[in-house]
Amino acid sequence: MADDIILETRNLRREFGALVAVNNVSVRVKAGSFHSIIGPNGAGKTTFFNLLSGTLKPTAGQVFFKGKEITHLPVHRAVHLGIGRSFQITNLFPNLTVMENIRLACQAMGRDNFRLFRSHRAFRQYEERAWEIMGKVGLQDKALMLARALPHGDQRKLELGMILAPDPQLLLLDEPTAGMASEQVPELIALIREIQTSGKKTIILVEHNMNVVMRVSDTITVMHYGEVLAEGTPAEISANETVQKAYLGALYE
Ligand SMILES: Nc1ncnc2c1ncn2[C@@H]1O[C@H](COP(=O)(O)OP(=O)(O)O)[C@@H](O)[C@H]1O
Ligand SMILES: [Mg+2]
């Protein structure tokens, strides 16, 4: 596996009974890149993410992260190696503050070195780390607000903060803008871009908003019926006739 490939799948497959949700998917993701996955509802995008993060086990095929096979690792091991993911369903503790949510995420998924510290000192460490992360996602001034009282856009930022807690190298973001008012989308996307470039992180994004995808992606993989229909730069995907005919029109709506 080439050094610049951070994540690779080989012939990844997942069946649910008779349904093949992910079918023979081989994808390579370049380190430091912004790689989007698009496709209609039911195309297998979320299932694919679940296979990458270890949430689901594949029926067949392999997943490699930084050259190491991680196909059968449990989620917490994948997190430890540097894979962070969001879920379509929100993961926040609604009755805790922003600060507490992020601090808990730091504690729950803390890196090894945090374990060396005990009680009070550990708490301080987590709190400092939580402040740092709140700064990254622009929520320091809302640190003491309850998560449930945040506007939707800020809840999405908080989720992003929680994913950042264990300092992942690869972020899997499954429709982070879902349900957001369209005028809030550019800000969240800009934030994700900032996290990618300043933190030298790799982003894999599932996103419905084609304008966003075309603007920010280095590479786009188009999925349909569990398979990879096409892959390329935004320009290549825009110009791809199969994609054009079958999906892009519908996706832009
Ligand atoms: N846990 C599951 N059990 C059975 N079928 C599932 C399960 N998860 C997903 N599917 C099915 O797999 C297909 C792909 O779903 P999904 O990965 O959620 O697609 P997408 O995220 O692209 O909308 C769909 O037909 C969906 O109904
Ligand atoms: Mg999905």
Kindly state whether residues 228 and 191 are assigned to the same domain.
yes
Phi, psi of 171 (to 5 degrees): -110, 125
Q: What one-letter code names the amino acid at 39?
A: G
> What Cα–Cα distance (Å) separates residue 219 from each residue in 29, 72, 84, 215, 236?
8, 27, 19, 11, 9
Distance (angstroms) between ligand 2 centre and the Cα of 40 equals 9
Distance (angstroms) between ligand 2 centre and the Cα of 45 equals 5
Chain-centroid distance of CA 92 in Å reads: 16
Domain boundary among 115, 149, 166: 166
> What Cα–Cα distance (Å) separates residue 99 from each residue in 51, 130, 144, 162?
30, 7, 6, 10
Domain boundary among 166, 187, 216: 166
Ligand 1, atom 7, lies closest to the CA of 16
Kindly state whether residues 75 and 97 are assigned to the same domain.
no
Domain boundary among 137, 166, 195: 166
Domain boundaries, position 101: 91-166
Residue in the block written with tokens 């507490």: 100
Kindly state whether residues 26 and 124 are assigned to the same domain.
no
Distance (angstroms) between ligand 2 centre and the Cα of 134 equals 27
Chain-centroid distance of CA 69 in Å reads: 19
Give me the pLDDT at residue 113, please. Answer: 46
Pocket probe mutation, ligand 1, options 13, 16, 49, 228, max atoms within 8 Å of Cβ: 16
Kindly state whether residues 209 and 175 are assigned to the same domain.
yes
Kindly state whether residues 63 and 175 are assigned to the same domain.
yes
Kindly state whether residues 77 and 106 are assigned to the same domain.
no
Identify the bridge partners of residue 172 per DSSP, sorted by sequence position.
Answer: 85, 204
Ligand 1, atom 4, lies closest to the CA of 16
Give me the pLDDT at residue 107, please. Answer: 82
Kindly state whether residues 72 and 174 are assigned to the same domain.
yes
Kindly state whether residues 96 and 159 are assigned to the same domain.
yes
Structure tokens at 26: 């081989």
Nearest to 137 by CA among 123, 156, 151: 156
Kindly state whether residues 181 and 247 are assigned to the same domain.
yes
SS3 per residue for the chain: CCCCEEEEEEEEEEEECCEEEEEEEEEEEECCCEEEEECCCCCCHHHHHHHHHCCCCCCEEEEEECCEECCCCCHHHHHHHCEEECCCCCCCCCCCEHHHHHHHHHHHCCCHHHHCCCHHHHHHHHHHHHHHHHHHCCCHHHCCCEHHHCCHHHHHHHHHHHHHCCCCCEEEEECCCCCCCHHHHHHHHHHHHHHHHHCCCEEEEECCCHHHHHHHCCEEEEEECCEEEEEECHHHHHHCHHHHHHHHHHHHC
CATH number (domain holding residue 67): 3.40.50.300
pTM: 0.91
Kindly state whether residues 152 and 197 are assigned to the same domain.
no
**pLDDT, mean of each 10-residue run, the chain (253 residues):** 89 98 98 96 95 94 96 87 73 92 80 54 86 96 97 92 92 90 91 94 93 95 96 96 76 53
Residues with Cβ within 8 Å of 90's Cβ and at least 6 positions away in sequence, in order, are 155, 159
The answer to whether the beta carbons of residues 251 and 40 sit under 8 Å apart is yes
Give the N- to C-terminal CA distance of the chain in Å, as an integer. 38
Domains held by the chain: number: 2
Give me the pLDDT at residue 105, please. Answer: 86
The answer to whether the beta carbons of residues 7 and 169 sit under 8 Å apart is no
Give me the pLDDT at residue 112, please. Answer: 46
Kindly state whether residues 131 and 185 are assigned to the same domain.
no
